[in-house]
Amino acid sequence: MSNMNYEKSITKMRKKYKRKPFKEPLEHALWMKRDDKLYKLYEEYKDVYAKGEVYYAQIVMANPMMKDNTDFMDGPAVVVYSDHEWANANPEKLINIAKDVIGYKNTPDEMIPEELRATVNKFREDTDRPNFRFEYMLEGHKINVHFATMLVVRKFLPTGYLSGDIFPVLATGDMETVLTLPNIYWSKDMKKKFAENARVDVLVADEDFDEEEF
């Protein structure tokens, strides 16, 4: 779907979510220990479900097994997203932010553009579980960006794995936690886009919500 209308799609997903926010308990990942920085999500997820907004996230880094259609457990991923409406209408542009931050990781400070230096240093402080916010100028738009580590929940993805690099998430402006948006809220177009290169079939019809209502 080269002509994917991300703006129209996210509007539909936001309306669906506001109509009936998700409330089910988040299952605990058996591999995650209490000293893992990602564990904070179990303290915050209820508030994110209640107060969160839908945004598009771009995968920066992910466990390779999360990109495989196996029965393996849920896993972590580093994503970048923005609350700026232009960024959510053009989420494929977010990869440029990821490339800048990651690309300068091993570059001497004096060779990093001044406007990116502080951001790159934040990433260097914790490359395993990065979680920080910053401003970024992208194609003439000054946008707020959240570079975050999240738990990708397989059962919430239409294909059961990361078959695409852009997908909808739930997040707030004041919490570190970013959550996978359950696929019952995904628009039909978003499901199709996410499954373009999938190795499994995906149900694109919405069982719980009638998209025509929006």
Over residues 25-79, the pLDDT tens digits come to: 999 999 999 999 999 999 999 999 999 999 999 999 998 888 877 767 899 999 9
Backbone angles phi, psi at 16, to 5 degrees: -60, -45
> What does the alpha-carbon distance between residue 140 and residue 154 come to, in Å, rounded to a whole number?
35
- 109's tokens: 């400070």
CB 185 within 8 A of CB 16: yes
> What pLDDT band is residue 204 in, cutting at 50, 70 and 90?
very low
Mean pLDDT of the chain: 90
Q: Please name which of 141, 164, 160, 178 lies closest in space to residue 38, comparing C-alpha atoms.
A: 178
Q: How far is CA 49 from CA 43, 201, 210, in A?
A: 12, 28, 21
pLDDT tens for each residue of 174-202: 999 999 999 999 999 999 999 987 765 55
The answer to whether 164 touches 196, Cβ cutoff 8 Å, is: yes
The answer to whether the beta carbons of residues 87 and 94 sit under 8 Å apart is: yes
pLDDT interval class at 2 (50, 70, 90): low
Please give the biggest Cα pair distance in the chain. 54
- pLDDT exceeding 90 applies to what percent of the chain? 84
| Position 205 pLDDT exceeds 50 | no
112: tokens are 């990093």
